[in-house]
Amino acid sequence: MARIVMKFGGTSVANIERIQNVALHVKREVEAGHEVAVVVSAMAGVTNQLVAWCKEAMPNYATSEYDAVVSSGEQVTSGLLAIALNNLGIKARSYQGWQIPLRTDSTHGSARIQGIEGDALSKDLSSGTVACIAGFQGVSPEGRIATLGRGGSDTSAVAIAAGIKADRCDIYTDVDGVYTTDPRIVPKARRLPRVAFEEMLEMASLGAKVLQVRSVELAMVHNVRVFVRSSFDAPDAPQIGPGGLPPGTLICDEEEIVEQQVVTGIAYSKDEAQITLRGVQDKPGVAAAVFGPLAEAHINVDMIVQNISDDGTTTDLTFTVPVADYERAMATLRAGNGAIGYAKIDGASDVVKVSVVGIGMRSHAGVAAKAFAALAANGINIRVIATSEIKISVLIDTAHTELAVRTLHSIYGLDQA
Amino acid sequence: MARIVMKFGGTSVANIERIQNVALHVKREVEAGHEVAVVVSAMAGVTNQLVAWCKEAMPNYATSEYDAVVSSGEQVTSGLLAIALNNLGIKARSYQGWQIPLRTDSTHGSARIQGIEGDALSKDLSSGTVACIAGFQGVSPEGRIATLGRGGSDTSAVAIAAGIKADRCDIYTDVDGVYTTDPRIVPKARRLPRVAFEEMLEMASLGAKVLQVRSVELAMVHNVRVFVRSSFDAPDAPQIGPGGLPPGTLICDEEEIVEQQVVTGIAYSKDEAQITLRGVQDKPGVAAAVFGPLAEAHINVDMIVQNISDDGTTTDLTFTVPVADYERAMATLRAGNGAIGYAKIDGASDVVKVSVVGIGMRSHAGVAAKAFAALAANGINIRVIATSEIKISVLIDTAHTELAVRTLHSIYGLDQA
């Protein structure tokens, strides 16, 4: 007997038929003897309609009222799922964020979870009742409804799993797991049976959009085992596979991963633009003068590279920003040249970041050298290199994306047999 | 400066444009210096969609989950109205039933209000914030969302008006007030500037469907002045009329009605079917044997007439039931004849109840006689007569409805000049 949180997104609950299919998935787990809490999103399309109404009423709506309006979508699904479960003879009840309560801060529209009082939920689960929980929402210190921001249902699910000490949090998605890379680029990509939290964090934030980054962070902090699987599986399909689980990917502590690969996957992100400041004064305070104004303009800076200066007086500073913010970032930096003091500003928006990710590379030398050699052999110029303990990222021209990803996927032995 | 509750139904908030029109009505009251709480229904059509989803998921859904689903409609409107008010530069915030809190019992789907904690609302109103309240809903002792049943938004509005000691509860409806009778039958019907609670109760339950009966009962108990007016009035139309109010009908204590008419209005109800049991034993316990099984079958019995028996052993018993329950009632009574012991059962579903209503008839003799004479003069046969202190009801053949209503409207001087 285990305690499981199951999470279903908008397309999985798009209509009553799909909700009834979700109920069958839940029934299977209940009949296997598990205690189940289900976290649901709004029915596909509903949230967009609600957001459109808010905008129509006022372009700059109050986020607290936006939350009251938009959170109703998940509320509806939670009640309908409870009804669908009752219809299968399963005890179930709906829970809104304020009923758990799932407490958040007051940042309406993108609130952060502050805590979960899991006692009422746990009591219901112990008595054999399935809790159908409206995802994406909580209650603020002022007693107002607060939403966690788009994709917040993943975060809700993981937070609730932590709050009720669940054995596992199953995320049902459009895909059947986490792959070694994007299968649209590399047909030989393989599904990973297990991925470490840290790897998933790098994969997710680098473009493998299976799970919200926030939810992976939360899972890592609270050590919640997250299992990503397809919501299109037949509810009565055999539930066997690696580790006794059905086809999917378990995101877990690295200690649970017995046979670690050196490299787990190749991620890429096209949402990058490169900016280079040349002839920057090499003195304290310059970095602050560059990145302070960008932060104030709410522009996220990603890769930052600065080399030792040749002459001890000036250096070059390169970093990336989201493509959508590229022009605004250039304008901000041009306006700030007085304070920064650079000779020249360069940039490019037709660049892609390709990353090699793997827990195993901590203990294996030569992983980076192998990548650089392979890229060079294929005539791919590397603009910027940035590394962390478990990943190597390179910035290259967009035109070389597919070639680079395929090459790296192959040289680290990730191709399917 | 007054404290006002304003209530708008589904057609008044059917889309963003209509909600913005509601906001203009609210703005007018705010600019007149009033403290305003607004109670809103779901956008027209939304509730029906939500109910349809519940039924699709399971024909016999749990009412607690129905409540979670359906209450979301009012939640959306409350947030959108707050946004629309903000857009006009007016401070506003939404309130759900559980946020007030408006406490109900646990009868999900048709909960009764147990109490309102008006302190938070009152504080907001005093500080110049407009409270946009989701109607139709409250929170049960178990912390679940509970709806008050269809039309419950009127009841919410009156209960909230009582809870925050409002000077008036303005109900914006499809019609511009309460009329002496149905204007579709009697073109000379007049709008009543004022109606006493008791009269309105008789008018409402007898077919003049302007306000929910429950809301009028509640208004009477708590002495909440209810003003019925049209939501189609231009928000910037002049706000003058009898008693300083715009065109509409004030439902109030009879003491506020200076010039009382003997008869205030003529109501009728086609939703009646007559059942007569002939040769019923005239002994204790028979009434219970008749009406007990009907109550168990959830059939509401209305007019009940039993005459003194001729011979002291048997009597005839006549009563009415809703047309939709007629066949079921007949079957129930036929099955129960052993316990009741009647000689014969008769019935008719092509009957109408016409009622003469007026507080003034308490102190005026001859009102009933005048009605009977007028009906007889027009060749209208009276099947059943039932009277209370402030009304006389007769059951007649449906074919005579219009003639009877017009005749009575005329003889009591209700026709427009």
Beta strands in B322-364 (DSSP E): 344-357
On whether residue A405 sits in a domain, the answer given is yes
B-chain CB neighbours of A119 within 8 Å are none
Query: Residues B203, B205, B209, B215: is their CA dihedral positive or negative?
Result: positive
Pair A160, A38: CB distance under 8 Å? no
A-chain CB neighbours of B54 within 8 Å are 79-80, 83
Q: Are residues A19 and A67 in the same domain?
A: yes
On whether residue B218 sits in a domain, the answer given is yes
On whether residue B416 sits in a domain, the answer given is no
B-chain CB neighbours of A94 within 8 Å are 64-65, 68
Does the distance separating the beta carbons of B57 and A80 come in below 8 Å? yes
Does the distance separating the beta carbons of B93 and A64 come in below 8 Å? yes
- The minimal CB distance from B76 to the residues A20, A61, A72 is found for A72
Q: Please list the ranges in chain A whose pLDDT falls under 50.
A: none
Whether the CB of A58 is below 8 Å from some CB of chain B: the reply is yes
The C-alpha atoms of residue A38 and residue B306 are separated, in whole angstroms, by 59
Whether the CB of B106 is below 8 Å from some CB of chain A: the reply is no
- Count how many Cα atoms sit within 13 Å of the Cα of residue A139 in the half-sphere of its side chain: 15
Q: Are residues B29 and B145 in the same domain?
A: yes
Provide the pLDDT for residue B55: 96
- Helix (H) / strand (E) element for A91: namely none
Last residue of a domain, one of B219, B237, B255: B255
Whether the CB of B378 is below 8 Å from some CB of chain A: the reply is no
Provide the pLDDT for residue B261: 81
Q: Are residues B73 and B106 in the same domain?
A: yes
The C-alpha atoms of residue B156 and residue B5 are separated, in whole angstroms, by 10
| Phi-psi sector, A334: left (phi>0), alpha (psi -120 to 50), beta | alpha
SS3 (DSSP) at B338? helix
Closest chain B C-alpha to A81 CA, distance in angstroms: 8
Does the distance separating the beta carbons of A58 and B84 come in below 8 Å? yes
Could you give the ipTM of this predicted complex?
A: 0.82
Provide the pLDDT for residue B151: 67
Instruction: Please name which of A82, A13, A99, A22 lies closest in space to residue B69, comparing C-alpha atoms.
Output: A82
Provide the pLDDT for residue A338: 82
The Cβ of residue A214 has, within 10 Å, a number of other Cβ atoms equal to 20
Q: Please list the ranges in chain B whose pLDDT falls under 50.
A: none
- Sequence-distant (≥ 6) Cβ neighbours of residue A172 within 8 angstroms: A6, A7, A8, A9, A12, A22, A25, A229, A230, A231
Whether the CB of A68 is below 8 Å from some CB of chain B: the reply is yes
State the Cα angle at B116 between B110 and B121, rounded to 5°.
125
Count contacts between A and B (CB, < 8 Å): 113
Best interface-test mutation with B: which of A48, A76, A81 has the largest number of B CBs within 10 A? A76
Best interface-test mutation with B: which of A46, A48, A83 has the largest number of B CBs within 10 A? A83
On whether residue A417 sits in a domain, the answer given is no
A-chain CB neighbours of B73 within 8 Å are 72
Pair B81, B39: CB distance under 8 Å? no
Residues B50-98 have pLDDT tens digits of: 999 999 999 999 999 999 999 999 999 999 999 999 999 999 999 999 9
* CATH number for the domain harbouring residue B383: 3.30.2130.10
Q: Are residues B213 and B335 in the same domain?
A: no
Does the distance separating the beta carbons of B99 and A58 come in below 8 Å? no
Can you tell me which residue has the tokens 């074919």?
Answer: B399
Q: Are residues A270 and A374 in the same domain?
A: yes
- From edge to edge, which strands make up the β-sheet containing B113-116? B113-116, B102-104, B137-139, B145-147
Can you tell me which residue has the tokens 């939403």?
Answer: A147
Q: Are residues A106 and A153 in the same domain?
A: yes
Whether the CB of B93 is below 8 Å from some CB of chain A: the reply is yes
Does the distance separating the beta carbons of B80 and A54 come in below 8 Å? yes
SS3 (DSSP) at B329? helix
Last residue of a domain, one of B255, B290, B313: B255
Q: Give burial (CB, 10 Å; 0-12/13-18/19+) of A108.
A: buried
Residue B279 has phi, psi (to 5 degrees) of 65, 40
The C-alpha atoms of residue B205 and residue B184 are separated, in whole angstroms, by 19
On whether residue B260 sits in a domain, the answer given is no
Q: Are residues A111 and A149 in the same domain?
A: yes
Q: Are residues B29 and B68 in the same domain?
A: yes
The C-alpha atoms of residue B347 and residue B323 are separated, in whole angstroms, by 11
The C-alpha atoms of residue A106 and residue B358 are separated, in whole angstroms, by 55
Our measurement of the distance from residue A185's CA atom to the centroid of its chain's CA atoms, rounded to an integer in Å, reads 20
Q: Which residue of A has its CA nearest to B22?
A: A57
Q: Are residues A229 and A270 in the same domain?
A: no
Q: Which residue of B has its CA nearest to A59?
A: B87
Provide the pLDDT for residue B416: 84
Q: What is the largest CA-CA distance in chain A?
A: 77
On whether residue B417 sits in a domain, the answer given is no
The Cβ of residue B313 has, within 10 Å, a number of other Cβ atoms equal to 10
On whether residue B204 sits in a domain, the answer given is yes
Angle between helices A16-31 and A72-87 (to 10 degrees): 60
Does the distance separating the beta carbons of B99 and A144 come in below 8 Å? yes
Residues A12-38 have pLDDT tens digits of: 999 999 999 999 999 999 999 999 999
Whether the CB of A259 is below 8 Å from some CB of chain B: the reply is no
Mean pLDDT rounded to a whole number for chain B: 91
Query: Residues B403, B409, B411, B415: is their CA dihedral positive or negative?
Result: negative
Q: What is the DSSP letter of B135?
A: T
Structure tokens at A260: 């670690």
Q: Are residues A107 and A7 in the same domain?
A: yes
Q: Which domain holds residue B54?
A: 3-255
Last residue of a domain, one of A256, A291, A311: A256
SS3 (DSSP) at A13? helix
Q: Are residues B154 and B11 in the same domain?
A: yes
A-chain CB neighbours of B87 within 8 Å are 57-58
Q: Are residues A161 and A305 in the same domain?
A: no
Task: Round the CA-based radius of gyration of chain A to a whole number and report it.
Answer: 24
- Helix (H) / strand (E) element for B225: namely none
On whether residue B103 sits in a domain, the answer given is yes
Does the distance separating the beta carbons of A75 and B65 come in below 8 Å? no
Q: How many domains does chain A have?
A: 2
